[in-house]
Amino acid sequence: MVINTKDLTGKHLDWAVAKALDIDMFINPFNEVMKKQPEGIGPVRFEPSTNWGQCGPLIEQFEISLQPPTTRHVNYGDGKGGWEKIEHWTATVPVQHANQHNQKLLADLAIPNIGRATGPTSLIAICRAIVDAKLGDIVTTPYDLNYAGSKKS
């Protein structure tokens, strides 16, 4: 399935994060993203979009800045002088952790890819920002994530 990074959720988001991190993974018969472990240790579910134990270390690893929902004063445009409610979390991965071959326009300047994403929770915003930084605006996820035990692709 082709999905905009900004729309990734659930198992599709977890799979995309594993892909961005180059994690050895597979989808089990129960439609879960599984991270392979060293010999003799069974695989573990990989679910950073809902698991602080898996997502938390990524904040430090990627030096992610995180902005909570807020209300801010508008200093520009049609709403100048008013207040604007930001209802989502915003996460940003700095350029040194992003893939350097992609270019994005940010404030009309072409810069190497920078990961910036929003989400209804901090974990979703963080995961989307990592995927955006490493894989870009569009991701192709396995069809298998939609149906447990499916072999279609």
Tens of pLDDT along 51-108? 999 999 999 999 999 999 988 777 776 767 788 888 999 999 887 666 655 555 555 5
Amino acid found at 68: P
Residue 131 clears pLDDT 90, i.e. is over it: yes
Per-residue model confidence (pLDDT) at position 113: 55
Mean pLDDT of 21-39: 92
Cα-based distances in Å from 12 to 17, 84, 88, 117: 9, 31, 20, 16
Residue 148 pLDDT class (50, 70, 90 cuts): very low
CB 133 within 8 A of CB 106: no
Alpha carbons 42 and 29: distance in angstroms, whole number: 15
Indicate the pLDDT class of residue 149, thresholds 50, 70 and 90: very low
Lowest mean pLDDT among 20-34, 80-94, 117-131: 80-94
- Contacts of residue 103, Cβ cutoff 8 Å, sequence gap at least 6: 110, 111, 112, 113
Write down the residue that tokens 């240790």 correspond to.
41
Closest by CA position to 60, among listed 151, 11, 126: 126
Residues contacting 2, CB < 8 A, separation 6+: 138, 139, 140
